[in-house]
Amino acid sequence: MIPRRIVEGFAVSPQIAPEDLAALKDQGFAMVINNRPDGEEAGQPAAAEIEASAREAGIAYRAIPVAGGFSQAQVDEMAQALDGADGPVFAFCRTGTRSTLLWSLAQASRGGDPDEIAAAAAAAGYDIAPVRAAVERLAASS
């Protein structure tokens, strides 16, 4: 598990294991956001296992599972999690893409510039094209 920094204070990665939480704490992360629904793939650790390891490591934990698209409630919850974190945030899903896309939508809902959001994601190897139109709409309306 190697976090990909999207912006200062926010990084993503593919699926993590419970034993990764101590290393995340050592890297300075204050919160872990799980964007993966339980049972998505065989052998995937359950959210409860990740949460227990996060708490044991002293890291805040939020589950915002995403499957089949993004709802406004998920965008709002992601924005609230980012705003409420006491330090750097680490998010994960199967590949890191959903976490990056949800971060993009949350940033736009808070008035972020769509071009800056897209550039930050691209620099980390992620393309926000699947949600670019929504990012632009959210940014324009905030």
Please tell me the distance from the alpha carbon of residue 37 to that of residue 118, in angstroms, as a whole number: 25
1 pLDDT above the threshold of 80: no
Domain that holds residue 75: 4-141
Phi, psi of 91 (to 5 degrees): -125, 150
Query: Sign (positive/negative) of CA torsion 141, 125, 48, 26?
Result: negative
Q: How far is CA 114 from CA 55, 56, 66, 119, in A?
A: 34, 37, 21, 9
- Residue 19: what pLDDT? 95
Count the domains in the chain: 1
Query: Residue 122: which CATH number?
Result: 3.90.190.10
What pTM was estimated for this model as a whole? Answer: 0.96
pLDDT above 90: percentage of residues in the chain:
95
Residue 57 has pLDDT above 90, yes or no: yes
Q: What are phi and psi of 65, to 5 degrees?
A: -65, 140
d(CA 95, CA 97): 5
pLDDT tens across 72-125, in order? Answer: 999 999 999 999 999 999 999 999 999 999 999 999 999 999 999 999 999 999
